[in-house]
Structure 1
Amino acid sequence: MTKDRSVYIRHIYDCIGWIKEYVQEGKEAFLQDRKTQDAVIRNLEVIGQAVKDLGTDSLTASHPETPWPQIAATRNFLAHQYLGVDLTLIWNIVEQHLPKIEQQIIAISNDEGIDLNAPNTPELP
């Protein structure tokens, strides 16, 4: 059973919010705290997977200004580079790309009438 698109959109939005919360103390604090690094990387992986599950082709068709295939590919890159993720690269993603992705997710939610503040209830088997 495929989840409603709104579930994925809200997951992406939630993950972005959590990442922003985790890194609010700045780059140096991020670089010194493994738990924060792990939390940020995990949420970037979830964002990439959710983008993949939404379908990069459909996202690109409706919002071509965002590099959806690269966002989806980030999930695989992070998952397979667990021995040596460049934390400066992660920080650059958070600082430079996450705000743009957040803007696009808000635009998509507005276009599709998705309430980003609605609770995301997981589907049970």
Structure 2
Amino acid sequence: MKDDKAYLEHIIEAIDTIEGYIAGMDYEAFKNNKMAVDAVIRELAVVGEAANNLSQEFVEKNPGLPFRDAIDMRNFLIHEYFGINIRLVWETAKDDLPELKKFIEKIS
């Protein structure tokens, strides 16, 4: 469980970083800012990698957390770079990550 705490901290840190990158942006500004898009994609990969390293015991005890979604997103971002849907990246950053952050903070 000690390692799980560290991985959860990495996830929170990556989400905080993403929130900073996109603060004050709308979708149009985001999609036209290659640096922001690339930076958010990198941090989403961190979220997925950290989620992938959580213990099976922790995942089973917290079925409400979308760990599989985070891992699948990471795999897609890393292996299908040229097929990335920028709208999906934006929606994940704006809609899904804040909810994940709240859930992790609640259980930590």
Do the structures match in fold with TM over 0.5? yes
Aligned to 1:30: 30
Q: What TM-score do you get using the length of structure 2 for normalisation?
A: 0.88
Q: Do the aligned partners of 2:4 and 2:58 also contact (CA within 8 Å) in 1?
A: no
Q: Do the aligned partners of 2:66 and 2:100 also contact (CA within 8 Å) in 1?
A: no
Q: Do the aligned partners of 2:3 and 2:54 also contact (CA within 8 Å) in 1?
A: no
Query: May I ask how many residue pairs the two structures share in their alignment?
Result: 106
Amino acid paired to 1:13: I
**Identical amino acids, percent of aligned pairs:** 35
CA distance in 2, matches of 1:98, 1:70: 11
Contiguous gaps of at least 5 residues in structure 1: 110-125
Aligned to 2:5: 6
Q: Secondary structure at the match of 2:82?
A: coil
Aligned to 2:84: 85
Q: Do the aligned partners of 1:59 and 1:68 also contact (CA within 8 Å) in 2?
A: no
Task: Give the CA deviation at 1:66.
Answer: 2.2
Q: Do the aligned partners of 1:12 and 1:46 also contact (CA within 8 Å) in 2?
A: yes
CA distance in 1, matches of 2:84, 2:51: 21
Amino acid paired to 2:48: G
Q: Return the structure number with greater helix share.
A: 2
Stretches of 4+ aligned residues off by more than 4 angstroms? none
Task: Give the CA deviation at 1:62.
Answer: 2.0
Task: Give the CA deviation at 1:50.
Answer: 0.2
Task: Give the CA deviation at 1:5.
Answer: 2.2
Aligned to 2:41: 41
Q: Once superposed, what is the RMSD of the aligned Cα atoms?
A: 1.5
Q: What TM-score do you get using the length of structure 1 for normalisation?
A: 0.77
